[in-house]
Amino acid sequence: MKTTQNSLRSLFQPAPRGNTATALAKGAAITVVAPQSPRPAEMLSGVTIDNGDVDLTSLDLALHELLISRAYETDRSMSVESYEIPIDECLRFLGRDARRDTLNRSIAKMKRVELSFTGETGRTYTGVPMLTAWEATLNSETSLGFQFAEPLRKLMRVMPSYGYIELAALGRGAMRSKYSHLLYKHLVLEVAKHPWEAGNDNRFEITFTPDELAAVVCFRPINGTVPFGKLQERVIAKVVDDFAGVRKFDLRITYDGLPAPKKGKTVKEIEFGIRVHPNSHHTVRANTQHLQSIGHRVGAPDEPRFRVNSVFWLRVPRKFANLGIDHFLAHAAWLVALTEALDEKPLTPEFSRRRYRGQNLLSAIDVDGVEAAAWGFFAEESELGRDLIGSDLAVRGRKSAEKARIKRLEKRKKNTTKAPTAGPDAAIAAVSNRYVSFETCTHIDLEIDQAANNSDLDDVIYQHLRTVIWSGSRRISLRAYFYVPGTSVRSHYHFWAAPADEDELAMELRKIDRWLIDTPTYRIETGGE
């Protein structure tokens, strides 16, 4: 039987991005891991909530998206009868104020709701139960067990057209209005039709009449009509704040071309101006193995707040080819931008106007993580035109920026003693550590800050490293060196780790980053641990 291109497209299943379990682990930052999950068109812009007398909130809708995402991560065929997720992860996703009764109320409401799905491909389902759920306890750990109706599973199983939702933009109370949630999903599908392109404007506009917008967000008419004042108050006025955590696109709202509704005049159209951003750096394939195997340095260590995985620098020229830089120049340009921000000394007039320069850049680092902020910096240079990259002042500033990086590291290391390279019985291979990479190492050494107390060491650092479930197959000896609190005695923890790549290692170490000094040290050893 021949398989046509259309049938291959209809069977396509996009991969999830990031991992919800990692993002919601104790001490993790969901904005740094930034998991994304694909949804078919019918579940983005074709969904209707038949909730009767049930008042669903944005929290309920966000939780539902988390459960769908976890199921799809676990089983992309969506053929497993039921799924589980730890209750603690659900509560972390819902936000710091969430309690068990909050979760229980949300689940109880979803059990009473039915959904309808329609789409351009003709797939239509009505009266679909939103969720079936229960609690399950094993060895004192309580999980939420859940099932989805077959129509929802069928939609997730086959996605002829789809878009990615950002769970960090929905969870932890980031999106407070249920209307914003429904509008967001509708716009996700529209954005998917306008992929970001280097050097292009990457803007488009989508227009609604008040009645059309009300239908999209399931805002109920009053006496058969949609009062614009209520629509503005309860829906439109909340959108900008609720979309603050969305990374894939920005938006601005106008009314018949004006920045605000004109008093005494009926609003005919509401325009949403969309500016699309590039996909996350995690979606760009790159590998440092070849360069490191021949002695090339990719990137350089920095203090934890500004630490960037070496593979990141290979992804920049692949994604932003119009910048005309390689990995070495990408790293150098970033150090210049970072030094400019920290010193608050503008190098170009765009310093005060661009989103990823100066204090705005530092804020983005603290909110989204350094790699997301650095990616935004290069995207902005690619889209709006080279400004800092290639400028004479920036070129002249490379040496001072490199010195600033070294100074940050030296300050971090001050008053600490480096861990011994190996035990007395270990035979060190005759290979300079300068040329040892993640791909070739047998051992990875970590140095724990002396500020870590017994609770930090035992309950956080040891517990995390002991319980990591690695996704690779190559076993590497992982050693974490520390001083026993209150003494001058050196000790270390030993684990067997199997990270699939340097990205996975970096992602797990970020969860204990506040206690780590410098970057991991890769070694080749024979004998010993």
- For the chain, the domains span 12-174, 176-277, 282-415, 443-523
Work out the pLDDT band at 59, boundaries 50, 70, 90: very high
Residue with tokens 């991560």: 73
DSSP state of 235: I
3-state secondary structure (DSSP) of residue 417 = coil
Predicted confidence at residue 510, as pLDDT, reads 85
pLDDT band at 449 (very low <50, low <70, confident <90, very high): confident
**Residue 243 pLDDT class (50, 70, 90 cuts):** very high
pLDDT for position 435: 53
φ/ψ of residue 399, rounded to 5: -65, -45
Average pLDDT over residues 235-244: 93
Give the pLDDT band of residue 165 (cuts 50, 70, 90): very high
pLDDT tens readout for residues 292-315: 666 667 788 888 889 888 889 999
Q: What is the mean pLDDT of residues 229-240?
A: 94
Question: What Rg value do the Cα atoms of the chain yield, rounded?
Answer: 25
Confidence class of residue 526 from pLDDT cuts 50, 70 and 90? low
Contact at 8 Å (CB) between 335 and 398? yes
pLDDT of residue 527: 53
- Quickly name the fold that domain 176-277 has: Arc Repressor Mutant, subunit A (1.10.10)
**Once rounded to an integer, what is the mean pLDDT over residues 244-256?**
93
Instruction: Give the pLDDT band (50/70/90) at residue 97.
Output: confident
Which sign does the torsion angle of CA 377, 380, 382, 385 carry? negative
Q: DSSP character for 402?
A: H
Give the separation between CA 274 and CA 251, rounded to whole angstroms: 5
Over residues 198-213, the mean pLDDT reads: 92
Model confidence, pTM: 0.72
Judge whether 374 and 308 are in contact, CB under 8 Å.
yes
Residue 97, token pair as written in the block: 């104020």
pLDDT at 422 over 50: no
Q: Which of 227, 208, 178 is nearest to 268 (CA)?
A: 208
pLDDT in the model for residue 198: 84
CA dist list (Å): 315 to 159, 304, 323, 330: 28, 21, 13, 10
pLDDT-based confidence at residue 8 (cuts at 50, 70, 90): very low
Q: Which of 265-279, 309-323, 488-502 has the lowest mean pLDDT?
A: 488-502
pLDDT at 1: 35
Highest mean pLDDT among 188-192, 280-284, 417-421, 485-489: 188-192
CA-CA distance, 502 to 292, in Å (whole number)?
Answer: 13
Lowest mean pLDDT among 271-280, 366-375, 422-431: 422-431
Token representation of residue 95? 């936000």
pLDDT at res. 37: 96
Which residues partner with 204 through β-bridges? Answer: 274
pLDDT bucket at 413, cuts 50 / 70 / 90: low
Determine contact, residues 338/273, Cβ cutoff 8 Å. Answer: no
More confident residue, 403 or 394: 403
Name residues whose C-beta falls within 8 Å of residue 465's C-beta, 6 or more positions apart in sequence. Answer: 478, 480, 493, 495, 497, 508, 512
Residue 14 CA to residue 487 CA, distance in Å, equals 53
Question: Quick one: which of 503, 509, 29 has its CA closest to 245?
Answer: 29
Q: Is residue 7's pLDDT more than 60?
A: no
Contact, 163 vs 39, CB < 8 A? Answer: yes
CB 259 within 8 A of CB 297: no
**For residue 12, what pLDDT is reported?**
67
Q: Is the dihedral of CA 84, 89, 93, 98 positive or negative?
A: positive
Least confident range from 5-19, 418-432, 462-476: namely 418-432
Give the pLDDT score at 426.
37
pLDDT digits (tens, 9 = 90+) for 476-517: 989 998 887 766 677 888 888 999 888 889 888 988 887 888
Q: What does the mean pLDDT of the chain come to?
A: 86
Does residue 121 have a pLDDT over 80? Answer: no
b/e code 422-458 from CB counts within 10 Å (16+ = b): beeebeeeeeeeeebbbeebebbbbbbeeebeeebbe
pLDDT average, residue stretch 412-428 = 47
pLDDT of 4 > 50? The answer is: no
The amino acid sitting at 43 is M
For 16-35, what is each residue's pLDDT tens digit? 998 898 888 876 678 778 89
Predicted pLDDT of residue 529 = 62
